[in-house]
């Protein structure tokens, strides 16, 4: 979908118009007859979030009411969601070209609406013969937003769409070696991102025991990808390390998933897609934050010489881990990546992973779980920007007492608590061990990375959740340096 600035003339409408009506000042700019204006005001009085449609054959005027007096973050989220519903209407009516305008609206309100419209307009339909009718072009009234601000947001939204494509792609088309090649090509296209791809032999020489063990059941080799964006005007003296779980497909291994639990497991690499996309988005828009993404990539299969419960692994940092469940594989590959990142002494480590079903059971699909160890300041900022962009976080306790649940009789740790207690927390505590004292934040995005039913502008399938959150965090990162 193309979004561009232009001038809207109501006397010679060449397309339907969406008018954003947030406060009473807007009424004077609407080209409505007296009875139409009265009807609009009554509808607005009855429901301040209503959509009112007026015919202007062969086009229409869609008046989207909203309450500009609501708290800022709530008002913006309602605009995104209203845009998503309107996109559904436009799609059903096969409308491909619209204009967007308003009176008395502020730029961030318009950006939120366009964001919802753009993200709701996404479809993963490359394998479908019959495709949905989607918006192709949006003209925004040129006085509302400047070109630079529009361009920055468009680059971010397109990066979200690309991220969703990666997560939606089935493993038969996108395995670990292909994803590594794709990331290298993407980094080259962006231009100011360095991509290092470690192949199977290099991973073996580094003795990444977790990544190698999970990969043992696969026909495809593992990869370990490092993406680095190091701007000359960077504000941080050491990089922020972003670690993403890249299980390209998760069968559960020998602890194979039963019932329908294997469906949608192509999305188990959403953490890697998110962290790669954060680096690329920051680079495309020139944010002054030094970032490195560490992405361990493999699928988890029960074939060949697959690792088994009771195996004891030696991880990259020398920690020994007794395997109690091969379906707790994500933390094994992340542990190697976090340990590898920690040796380079980053300013902060953040990982993101579709890690535990326990997070979904505890929190549902509206919020991501977050935990921190020694990173209270950065987490506070992350929580603030999460509220602003409405990609919200629920902090779970992260006391060291939980480490008791990871003790092994035969190794330094077990990989999975055998009891159904504090599953999300113990998974995070397992990973925190490998950060070796670096300030550390763990994001469990299991409930928000992929939707089996439509969820507003996140749609069906890969949601893209987390990129707006981490991008906003990078925009505001300097605030953490004062803590």
Provide the token pair at 276.
């790669």
Hunting for tokens 């990989």 — which residue is that?
A: 415
DSSP string, 125-184: -TT-SS------EEEEETTTS-HHHHHHHHHHHHHHHHHHHHHHS-TTTS-HHHHHHHHH
Distance CA 432, CA 337 (A): 12
Q: Residue 381 and residue 477: Cα distance in Å, rounded?
A: 8
CA 259 to chain CA mean position, Å:
27
Q: Annotated catalytic, 257?
A: yes
Nearest-CA neighbor of 250 among 206, 286, 301?
301
User: 444 near 356, Cβ under 8 Å?
Assistant: yes
Burial of 373 (0-12, 13-18, 19+ CB in 10 A): buried
User: What is the spatial distance between Cα 220 and Cα 106, in angstroms, rounded to a whole number?
Assistant: 51
- Which member of 60, 331, 383, 429 is catalytic? 331
d(CA 140, CA 9): 12
Tokens of 277: 């996309």
CB 313 within 8 A of CB 258: no
The token pair at 8 is 């809207």
What gap in Å lies between CA 338 and CA 335, rounded to an integer? 5
SS3 category, 436: coil
DSSP-derived 3-state class of residue 377: helix
Residue at token pair 């593992």:
222
Are 354 and 248 within 8 A, CB to CB? no
- What is the spatial distance between Cα 322 and Cα 155, in angstroms, rounded to a whole number? 44
CA torsion sign, 270 to 349 to 393 to 84?
negative
Q: Token pair 């000042």 is at which residue?
A: 25
First to last CA, the chain: 41
464 with 124: CB under 8 angstroms?
no
10 Å CB burial of residue 88 (0-12, 13-18, 19+) is middle
Angle at 476 between CA 472 and CA 479, to 5 degrees: 150
Residues marked active site are found at 257, 331
């Amino acid at each position: 979908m193309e979004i561009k600035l232009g001038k809207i003339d109501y006397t010679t409408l060449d397309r339907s118009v969406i008018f954003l009506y947030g406060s009473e000042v807007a009424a004077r700019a609407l080209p409505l007859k007296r009875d139409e204006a009265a009807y609009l005001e009554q509808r607005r009085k009855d429901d301040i979030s209503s959509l009112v449609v007026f015919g202007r054959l062969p086009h229409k005027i869609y008046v989207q009411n909203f309450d500009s007096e609501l708290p800022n973050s709530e008002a913006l989220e309602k605009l995104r969601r209203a845009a998503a519903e309107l996109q559904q209407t436009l799609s059903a009516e096969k409308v491909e070209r619209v204009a967007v305008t308003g009176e008395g609206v502020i730029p961030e309100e318009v950006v939120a609406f366009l964001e919802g419209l753009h993200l709701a307009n996404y479809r993963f339909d490359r394998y479908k013969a019959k495709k949905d009718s989607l918006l192709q072009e949006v003209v925004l009234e040129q006085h509302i937003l400047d070109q630079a601000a529009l361009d920055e947001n468009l680059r971010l939204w397109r990066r979200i769409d690309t991220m969703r494509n990666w997560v939606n792609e089935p493993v038969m088309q996108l395995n670990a070696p292909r994803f590594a090649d794709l990331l290298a090509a993407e980094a080259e296209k962006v231009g100011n991102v360095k991509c290092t791809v470690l192949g199977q032999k290099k991973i073996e020489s580094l003795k990444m025991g977790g990544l190698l063990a999970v990969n043992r059941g696969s026909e495809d080799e593992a990869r370990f990808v490092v993406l680095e964006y190091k701007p000359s005007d960077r504000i941080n003296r050491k990089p922020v390390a972003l670690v993403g779980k890249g299980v390209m497909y998760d069968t559960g291994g020998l602890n194979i998933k039963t019932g329908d639990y294997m469906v949608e497991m192509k999305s188990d690499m959403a953490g890697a897609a998110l962290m790669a996309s954060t680096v690329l988005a920051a680079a495309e828009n020139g944010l002054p934050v030094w970032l490195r993404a560490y992405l361990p990539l493999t699928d988890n299969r029960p074939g060949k010489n697959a690792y088994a419960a009771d195996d004891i692994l030696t991880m990259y940092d020398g920690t020994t881990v007794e395997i109690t469940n091969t379906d707790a594989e994500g933390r094994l590959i992340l542990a190697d990546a976090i340990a590898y990142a920690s040796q380079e002494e980053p300013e902060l480590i953040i990982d993101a992973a579709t890690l535990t079903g326990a997070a979904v059971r505890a929190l549902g699909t509206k919020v991501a779980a977050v935990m921190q160890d020694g990173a209270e300041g950065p987490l506070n900022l992350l929580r603030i920007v999460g509220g602003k962009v409405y990609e919200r976080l629920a902090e779970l306790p992260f006391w060291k007492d939980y480490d008791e649940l990871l003790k092994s009789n035969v190794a330094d740790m077990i990989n999975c608590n055998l009891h159904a207690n504090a599953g999300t927390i113990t998974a995070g505590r397992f990973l925190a061990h490998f950060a070796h004292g670096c300030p550390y934040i763990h994001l469990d995005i299991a409930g928000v990375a992929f939707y089996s039913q439509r969820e507003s502008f996140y749609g069906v399938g890969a949601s893209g959740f987390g990129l707006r959150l981490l991008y906003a965090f990078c925009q505001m990162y300097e605030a953490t340096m004062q803590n």
